Structure 1
Amino acid sequence: MNLIDRVSRQFEDNMRTALEALEMLAAPIAGAVELITASLLENGKVLVCGAAGSAGDARRFAAQLVNGFELERPSLAAMALSADASTLAPIAGEPDTSTLFARQIEVFGHPGDVLVAIAANGEPMRILDAIGAAHERDMRVIALTGADAGRIAARLGPADIHLAAPADRSARIQELHLLILHCLCDGIDCLLLGVED
């Protein structure tokens, strides 16, 4: 086995997938930037949840909104629903953890807020329930998924945004999700600060 060739294939696969995603997702990502920015300007907030390994992406995205991305700016109202251990512990001890995020949305979500739901693998019930809870609170939803996310897509309303990475491999989906989240951070900063380039 030639490890250099194998590494090269990983890079090439990543680039191919990213270029395919660019054609499909540039306009919806721009729409997501505008949606989040409008909510923040109206004193709304961004609630972020991620299933399994995507929980780390959710925490990172919320932290970048609160603490800043690449430009100096005031903190933005964002909260990762998978970050508060004292809130999650009682729920996680229950046999049915599908309400893990929905309960927090019921408490912290308000009309005009935005839910960013991230699911790189499968369609976990907790993400589906989170989307339902967000809709009950008159929140809009931005869902980041892989290519195979029919039940999540079916839960989204006409005002929601679905950013489906055109990939089946978990590694490619997760890489694209991180790129999408960085695009969101950059776009929000540029709109809020009036940056042109």
Structure 2
Amino acid sequence: MSVPPHSAGEVVSPDACTHLTGADHVASLTTALRSLDGQLDTLDRWGRLLADVLCGEHRGRLLAAGNGGSAAQAQHLTAELVGRYRADRPPFSAICLTAETSSLTAIANDYPADELFARQVEAHGRAGDVLVLLSTSGRSPNAVAAARRARECGITVLAMTGPAPNPLAAVADDAVCIDSPWTATVQECHLVALHLVCAAFDAAVLVEPARVPETRLGMAR
């Protein structure tokens, strides 16, 4: 099928073609990133919330999940907290629910598909923890089920999705929604958003005076 040429900077819809040229992709990404402009305060707030939970008296935990490329994004987030983002700091408890294959396959074998993340949320999460769910469509049934289970358990649900409105954003406590019809573009913007959350988290954790013991900050890597 021939694809009609597009004007420079024009954002192409999946309804008009089945793929993006390099120029199309960049134009789509540039436009979608603008949808983050009005959500920067939200991402900063998320970083501060994570600092409150993970540095708090009860040393809470972050859980994260998604499907496909969003699973990789979820694991990226937890790695930044257990490891580090930019500044050296202590590790924090963060579990990616897509990474433990034995649990995933056991749940998928014995329970309905929607339980894939929800059962793990119930197992690992505690009231006051935070669950981050990523879905480019915002309609992934297992993510929506996990959000509902988390809310029942007193866990705060933060969602990153594609265009709103969508079921996941509706059931979450808060959501950042990327206004793009292209899955790859939404995922790329989610990565930027995750890094902004990590930057805000580090800023909140390492503010003077630091919210973590000095001896731990100075540990050799």
Matched, 1:39 2:63: no
Could you tell me which runs of 5 or more consecutive residues in structure 2 were left unpaired when the two chains were aligned: 9-20, 209-221
Q: CA contact under 8 A between 1:106 and 1:137: conserved in structure 2?
A: yes
- Stretch of structure 1 that moved more, 78-87 or 89-98: 89-98
Alignment partner, residue 186 of structure 2: 173
Partner of 1:161: 174
Alignment of 1:44-55 (within 5 A): 44-55=60-71
How far 1:121 sits from its partner (Å)? 2.9
TM-score, normalisation: structure 2? 0.80
Count of residues in correspondence between the two structures: 189
CA RMSD of the aligned region, Å?
Answer: 1.9
Q: CA deviation at 1:25?
A: 1.1
Which among 101, 104, 126 is matched to residue 110 of structure 1?
A: 126
CA distance in 2, matches of 1:50, 1:187: 22
Give distance in 2, aligned partners of 1:20 and 1:52. 23
Which amino acid is 1:37 matched to?
Answer: A
For 1:13 and 1:155, how far apart are their aligned partners in 2?
28
Q: Which runs of 4+ in 1 moved over 4 A?
A: none
* 1:85 has 2:98 as partner: no
Distance (Å, rounded) in 2 between the aligned partners of 1:151 and 1:17: 20
Q: Does residue 13 of the first structure (1) align with residue 62 of the second (2)?
A: no
**One-letter identity of the residue aligned with 1:175:** E
Q: Structure 1 length normalisation: TM-score?
A: 0.89
Deviation for aligned residue 1:58: 0.6
Counterparts in 2 of 1:89 and 1:15: CA distance versus 1, 3 Å: same
Relative to its length, the structure with more helix (as a share) is 1
Q: Report the Cα distance in structure 1 between the residues aligned to 2:26 and 2:189, rounded to whole angstroms.
A: 13
Are the counterparts in 2 of residues 123 and 149 from structure 1 also a CA contact under 8 Å? no
- Between structure 1 and structure 2, the one with the greater Rg is 2
SS in 2 for 1:123: coil
